[in-house]
A = this chain, B = another copy of it.
Amino acid sequence: MEGLRERKKRETRQRIADIAMGLFLQRGFDDVTVAEVARAADVSVNTVFNYFHTKEDLFLDRSEDVENLLARVILDRRPGESAVGAVRRDFFESLRDGDWRYGMHEGADLFTRRVRESAALQARLSLMTRRREELLAEALADETDADPDDVTPWLVAAQICSVVTTLTRHFAVRRMAGEDGDRIVSDIRAQAEIAFDLLEHGVGDYALRPATDG
């Protein structure tokens, strides 16, 4: 069971994270110092660094879920379902239910804006994306009993990730430009069909330059 010691630790950690996120969303990641977070949470700066390795960790606390998302979709895929098929289904389910999984839910705006205005957060997010790709690749390699030197799982993982990431980013860009959320989502639905078709059937003839006839 959980003693008083562990409970206080968990609570302190959570309190720091919550207060930090509040300040970050309110004033921007770069404009809030760790010292301010510490003061607001009524702990010392070193206590903050005791719980969170870096300032970015304060913002991207529950990042593990995001990193594991695609690998989990693969491992949980249904009989008769391919890797791409499972992600395709999960993506549209998430879109239909309007949940957070692919970053297209109501209320992601402020979060998105804060990420996009901070180079530090963007860099950190890039690494998260890389990690997600890695976990997906490992899941695929497992599921297909691939040879360790076979790049195929990594290639497929990279391509699946790139589709998801691109669609998510596309939503963010248009949302930041002020477009209506529902309108983007319904548009995304159509574009996502194209996207997953491209993924499943290839982009071989894209941007084919006409032969010169002069």
Is A41 part of the contact surface with B, judged by Cβ < 8 Å? no
A37 at interface (Cβ–Cβ under 8 A)? no
Chain A interface extent, by class = 35 or more
Contacts A122-B127, A158-B162, A199-B204 known; list 12 others, CB within 8 Å. A74-B207, A79-B210, A123-B126, A140-B207, A150-B191, A151-B167, A151-B194, A152-B194, A156-B203, A162-B162, A200-B204, A202-B202
- Interface 0/1 of A174-213, CB less than 8 Å to B: 1000000000000100010011001111111111111110
- Tell me, in angstroms, the Cα distance from A169 to B158 when the chains sit together: 12
Task: Contact check, B200 vs A82: say whether CB atoms are below 8 A apart.
Answer: no
Closest to A188 in B: B151
In the complex, what's the smallest C-beta–C-beta distance from A209 to chain B, in angstroms?
Answer: 6
A206 engages B84 (CB within 8 Å): yes
Question: Is A154 among interface residues, defined by CB-CB distance under 8 A?
Answer: yes
Task: Please tell me how many copies of the chain the complex holds.
Answer: 2
Q: How far is the CA of A203 from the CA of B198 in the complex (A)?
A: 9
B170 in contact with A166 (CB, 8 Å):
no
A209 contacts across to B, CB distance below 8 A: 77-82, 143
Q: Judging by beta carbons under 8 Å apart, are B207 and A144 in contact?
A: yes
Main secondary structure of the interface of A (DSSP, over half): helix
With an 8 A cutoff between CB atoms, is A130 at the interface? yes
Pair B207/A143 contact, Cβ less than 8 Å: yes
List 22 interface pairs A-B (beta carbons < 8 Å), by A numbering.
Answer: A74-B207, A78-B209, A79-B211, A81-B209, A82-B208, A82-B209, A122-B127, A144-B206, A152-B198, A152-B206, A155-B195, A156-B198, A156-B207, A158-B162, A158-B163, A159-B162, A159-B163, A199-B202, A200-B203, A201-B202, A201-B204, A202-B202
